[in-house]
Structure 1
Amino acid sequence: MRVHIFTPRFEVTRWLVTAVVVTGLIAAVSPMARTEAAPTDTGSDPVVTVTGGPIRGLRSDGIVEYLGVPFAAPTTGENRFAPPQPAAPWTDPRPAITHSPQCPQASPMPLGMALQESSEDCLSIDIYVPQNAGDTALPVMVWLYGGAFVLGSNAQYDSPARLVREGKVIVAIPNYRVGPFGFLALPELAESTGGVAGTYGTLDQQAALRWIQDNATAFGGDPGNVTIFGESAGGMSVCTQLASPMARGLFHRAIIESGSCARSPLAPPSKDIAFQRSADYAASFGCHDPQTRLQCLRALPADRLTDSATTQLNSMAVTWSPVLDGVVVTAAPEQALAAGAAHGMPLIVGSNADEGATFIALLDYARATTPTATDYLHWTRELFGDNADQVLTRYPPADFVTPAKAKERVITDGFFACPALFTAEAARSGGAQVWQYRFNDAPLGHNPLLPGAFHAAEIPYVFSALMGVAIPLPPAADQLSRHIQQSWAQFAHTGDPVTAAFTAWPTTPGSTLEMGSDRITIGDSFARQHHCDLWSDIGHIG
C-alpha cells in the first residue's frame, strides 16, 4: 500500500526543518507507509504456528518477515488503561506481510498529517528472521522504539535486513501503547488492578517479551538468549525493564542507546506526581469527578484523547512515562541498577556527540524561532530552577558561537551524555559488565538545521531501512554501520561486543569507544568533555 501525501502551503521554515528531521530518521517522528517491494527470493511463503494460530510471512532481501502478528487483544473499552489481555486465536493461516496500525498518538507532522493509521488494535509484533538460519538456535534481539513515550511504532524500523541476514540474529519489534493510553495513572486504576497504574505500555513490552519466550523456537530462535535494545524512550524502556521485577528472566542482555537510566526527564515519576498529572489531564476533558472520570475517559474517542498538548513533544519536560507504581516498576532505574538489578548481565550504554541538535531543530527551528541570549537564560532558569546558576556558570552564552549552540550543548551533556555515564557507573556498582560508547558520525553532515551526531543519528547505522526508505549512507559511514551491526550481533550471540573493528573496547570506568567513520578510538576524557562533575550534583534533570 502506498500513501500519497499532499503538502499544502504553510510556513516555509517549519516545513524545511520538519523535512530534515524526517529524512534524518529520528525516532520522534511518525513512520511513512511501508513501500512494498517484490520479494527477492523464490519459494513458497513460509508458514509457522505461534500462540494464537498459524501465520504466513514473506521472503524479501535475504530474510523472512512476519509483520503485524498480534500478541495481545485490542485495548478498547474496559481494556483501555488496563494491562494487556491475550489475543483471540485464529485457525486459518493469517497473512503477516504488512504492519499493523500504530497505537493512538498525536501526529508530529505539520497540520497534523497522518502518515500511518492509528488504532487501539495495535498490540502486534514484527519478526525478522534469517532465511538460512541453519541448525543453531539464534539469539533474539527485541527493539523497543523511542518517541518520548508519546510517539512511535514498529513500522518505523522497517527493516533490519542486514543485521538479521549477516549477523544471524532474529529481530523482533513490538508495538506498545504511548501517551495516556500507556501511562495514565489514577488512584482508581491502581485500586482496580492490584496497584498497577501508569505502566500499561511497560506491561505491553513485557507481554511481547513473554510472547517471544513462548514462540522464539517457532522461528529458530533461542528463548534463553534474548537481548533488548532501544533508543531514547526505547532506551528508557530498556532501563524500566531492568528495574521491573516482573521482567526477570525475559531477557539476558541489554543495549541502551541515548536513553539513559539516570537523571532523565523520562525516568519514572512517583505515584503522587503521576496521579496529579493524570488528574489534570482528565480534567482538561471535563472528566473531573474521581467517581466517574475513568468511565468518562474510556467513553471518549481515541483521537479526542490525543488532542492535548501533553501528547506532543513541545519541550524537554514530559507528562507521560512509566510510573513508579510499586508493582510493575518498584525502583527508579538508576537505583535499581546500583542495587544489582543487572548483576552479572552484559550491557552496552551509549550516547551521541551532538544529541541536542535534534531538540533545537524540533523545539525551536521547526517553530520558526532561533534562541536569543535572553531566551536561553529564561529556558535555563525555567528548566533547572535552583541549579540554573550552576548551569549558566558552566555554559555561559558568551562562550558559544550562538545561544542555540549553548542550549544544544546543555541538552547534549545534561540530558544524554552524563546520564549515560551515570548509568554505566550505577550498573557497574551493581555488578553488571558495561561497555560505554560515544557515536560521533554525522549522517547529514554539518548542515545548519540538524548537524553532527544528533539524537537518533546512530539508528540508520543499526537498521537497513527506516520508515520504508532505504538508507543511502556514503561508503565510510556504511562501513561504520557494518561495524556496529557486527558488534551488536556478536553481543547478542556471546554477550561481548568486542570485534576486530572495535578491538580493545574496555569495560573499565572512564573508557568509551569513540565511533566515527573517520576513526574508531578509545577515549578517556568523556566526563571532562561533557562537564559531568557539574551534572553529578544535579539529582533530576528536566
Structure 2
Amino acid sequence: MTTLSSIVSTDLGLVEGVHGRRTRKGTISWKGIPFAAAPIAGNRFRAPQPATPWPGVRPAKAYGKAAMQDKRFTAVGPGKYQQTGEDCLTLNVFSPDSVRSTPRPVMVFIHGGAYIMGTTATPLYDGSSLARSQDVVVVTVQYRFGPFGYLDFSAYSTDERTFESNIGIRDHLAALDWVRRNIAAFGGDPGNVTVFGESAGGSAVLALMASPAARGLFHAAIAQSPAPELVVEAPDARAYADAFLRILENPRYRAGSAGDEEPISAERARQLLTRASSADLHKAGARLMGYAKHADVISPIPYGPVIGDDVLPTAPLSAAQAGTLLPVPLIIGTNHDEGQLFAKVWNILPPAEKTVIEAAGVDSWNEISALYESGGPDGVRLSADAVFWAPSITVADGHSTVAPTYVYRYDYATEMLHRTGFGATHAMELFAVFGAFRSALGAGMAVGSWRAAGRVTHTVQRHWGNFALVHTPVVGWPAYTTNQRRVLLIDDPCRVRVDPGRERRAAWQKAHAARAR
C-alpha cells in the first residue's frame, strides 16, 4: 500500500508533518498549521484575517500556542504546560498514513472549556487513534475564547478601527473554510465534513448550526454535552463590554459602581483595547467573571455566543425549537453523571433556580424542583440537567423534525470512576471517542476495567466513524423522534431506552416552551 507523504501542499505553502510511532503507528500528524493571520496588533478583537503565505517547507511537528488563559489549564504532562499567546489561530490534522483510492471523511473537533480555557495540545485530543481506527481525517482547532474571543466591542467600532462580535465563532468558520480549501491535499473529502465538539465545543457546534454563515461548510454534526442556553443576550453583551473596559482602566471597578459615569467613547475604548498587554487583558477578563456574579444581567456568564449579529441572529435553542438549525444530521447527548465533575472539582454551573425563574417563572421552577431531592447527588443532577441534559433534549426535539437526529446518554464508568464518586461525569466520553483509555493520560482511569473500556471505545468510535462516513450511526442506534424518543444508553453493553427520565423531561420542556413564547 502506498504511504502518504508527510509533506503536503496547502494554499499558503508546504507543510511537513511527522509519521506516528508506538501507539500512533500507522498515522501522520501535521500540527500548528495557521488557518488565519496572527490576531495581534490591528487584528486584535477582529474577525480572523487571511494568513500570509510562507516560503519553503514549514515544519508542522508541534502544536501551536494555546489561547490566553490561566497556566494551570494548559497542562500537557507532569510539570509541562503549553505556551499561551494571542497568536493562537492554528489547527492540527491527523490521518492514516496510507493513500486511499477515495477521499476520507473529515471530522473537525472543537474543544471545550467553558469558553475560558482549553488547548488542542491536551493529550486527550490527539486524533491519531480515531483517525486510524475509523479511516478518517481528524482536524482539531485552536480558537480564541474569554475576552479575546467572546466579548462584543462592535459598538465601539469607527472608520479607523473595527471590532467584530462573536470572534470565537468566526474563528471556527475560518477553520472550516480552511478545511474546505485544503483538506483534499491531506486525503480528506471536503464534501463530507462532520463537525464535533464537547461542552463549550458542543455548544459551538450548535452555534454553527444556527449560523447562516456556516451553510455548506459541514455536512453532519455531533454535539457532546453542550450547554445550549449559555449564550449572551445583546443588552448583556453591551453591559459586559462596558464593564470590561472600566475594569481595564480601573482594576478596582465593581458591579454597581458605575453610577452616572459618562459612556466610554469609541476612541477611549480603542486606546484601552489596543495598548493593553495580553496579560492585562487576561487579568481584566478574570475580574469580569467576578463582576458577573453581582451584575444586573440575565446572561449568567460574560463569555459565550452573542445573540443578534450577522453570524448568530438567533439563539441555537430558539432556532432548534423553530426548526431552523442547518438541516444536517445530528448526534447529540449528555453523560449520566454530568454534574459530579463540577461538584467535586470546580463548580462553575450557574444556579438553576435563578435561571429557570427568570426564563419561565416560579411555577415552572416549583414543578421542576419537586422532581428532585434537595441536596446530595440529586441536587447536583438538577443543576447539570438545567445546563446540559434538558436543553439538549429540547434541541433534539426541534431538530428531529427537519433532519435525522440521534440521541445518546453516556452511562459507562470504569471501576476507578465509580470508586471515586465521579461516575460517568462530564467529558468522560472523550476518552472513548479519542481512544485515550490506552494512553498514558487515561490508563490509570481504566485500571481494573481494561476490557470493558476497550469495548466501549470500540463501540463509540464505530458509531462516530460511521456517522462521519454515511451520516448514520452503526445499526442498533435508532433515530430519535418526538413520537418514540429512543435514546442509546452507551455502556458495556449498550441498550436503547424510550424517553429515559420522561417526567423530568416533560417538566423541563414545558419551561423551555414558556420561555420561547
| Superposition TM-score, scaled by structure 2 size | 0.84
Instruction: Give the direction of change, closer, same or farther, for the CA distance of 1:59–1:259 in structure 2 (3 Å limit).
Output: same
In the alignment, is residue 101 of structure 1 matched against residue 65 of structure 2? yes
**Alignment partner, residue 135 of structure 1:** 101
**What do the CA deviations read for 1:117-176 (whole angstroms, capped 9, x no partner)?**
111111000000111241111111000111111111211244122211120100001111
Q: Pick the aligned partner of 1:427 from 399, 407, 411.
A: 399
Report the secondary structure of 2:400's partner residue. Answer: helix
* Ranges in structure 1 where 5+ consecutive residues have no aligned partner: 1-41, 367-375
Which residue, 322, 335, 359 being the options, matches 1:352? 335
- Counterpart of 1:486 in structure 2 is 462
Secondary structure at the aligned position of 1:536 is classed as helix
Alignment of 1:196-275 (within 5 A): 197-261=164-228, 264=229, 266-267=230-231, 269-275=232-238
Distance 1:196 1:398, change over 3 A: closer
1:91 correspondence with 2:55: yes
How many Å separate the matches in 1 of 2:84 and 2:110?
A: 18
Paired amino acid for 1:285: L
Q: 1:106 to 1:359 in 2, by over 3 A?
A: same
Q: Distance in 2 between matches of 1:335 and 1:192?
A: 34
Residue 278 of structure 1: aligned partner: 241
Structure 2 contact 3–97 (Cα < 8 Å) conserved = no
Which residue is 1:15 aligned to?
none
Choose 503-512 or 321-330, whichever is displaced more.
Answer: 503-512
Distance 1:216 1:43, change over 3 A: closer
Shift of 1:198: 2.6
Deviation at 1:464, TM superposition (A): 2.8
Distance in 1, matches of 2:94 and 2:15, equals 13
1:404 CA displacement: 3.6
- Do the aligned partners of 2:74 and 2:82 also contact (CA within 8 Å) in 1? no
The alignment partner of 1:66 has SS state of strand
2:380 is matched with which residue?
408
Percent identical across equivalent pairs? 29
Give 1:458's aligned residue: 429
AA aligned to 1:65 is S
1:522 has 2:482 as partner: no
SS at match of 2:382: helix
Could you tell me the TM-score, scaled by structure 1's length?
A: 0.80
> Conserved in 2, the CA contact under 8 Å of 1:413 and 1:532?
no
Q: How does 1:59-208 map to 2 (within 5 A)?
A: 59-60=19-20, 61=24, 62-108=26-72, 115-156=81-122, 157-189=124-156, 197-208=164-175
Cα offset, 1:393, TM superposition: 6.0
Query: What amino acid is the match of 1:281?
Result: F
Task: Provide Cα deviations, 1:74-128, integer angstroms capped at 9, x if missing partner.
Answer: 11111111011111211111111110010112345699x9822111111000000
How far off is 1:525 after superposition?
3.1
Residue 506 in 1 paired to residue 453 in 2? no
Instruction: Say which is worse superposed, 387-396 or 217-226, in terms of deviation.
Output: 387-396
Structure 2: which 5+ runs fail to align? Answer: 251-262, 294-298
Distance 1:245 1:379, change over 3 A: closer
Cα distance in 2 between the residues matched to 1:222 and 1:528: 40
Partner-residue secondary structure (3-state), 1:155? coil
Q: Which moved more, 1:44-53 or 1:292-301?
A: 44-53
Partner of 1:55: 15
Aligned with residue 317 of structure 1, among 285, 300, 318: 300
Separation of aligned partners in 2, 1:52 and 1:540: 47
* One-letter amino acid of the counterpart of residue 233, structure 2: S
Q: Which residue of 1 aligns with 2:259?
A: none
Q: Matched residue of 2:249: which SS?
A: coil
Amino acid at match of 2:499: S
Contact 1:229/1:238 (8 A) holds in 2:
yes
**Residue 303 of structure 1 aligns to a residue in which SS?**
helix
Moved more, 523-532 or 417-426: 523-532
Equivalent position SS for 2:248: coil
The root-mean-square deviation of aligned C-alpha atoms, in Å, is: 3.3
Displacement of 1:327 in angstroms is 0.8
Aligned pairs, number: 477
C-alpha displacement at 1:52, in angstroms?
1.3
- 3-state SS of 1:171 partner: strand
Local SS of the residue matching 1:306: helix
- The AA in structure 1 aligned to 2:345 is L
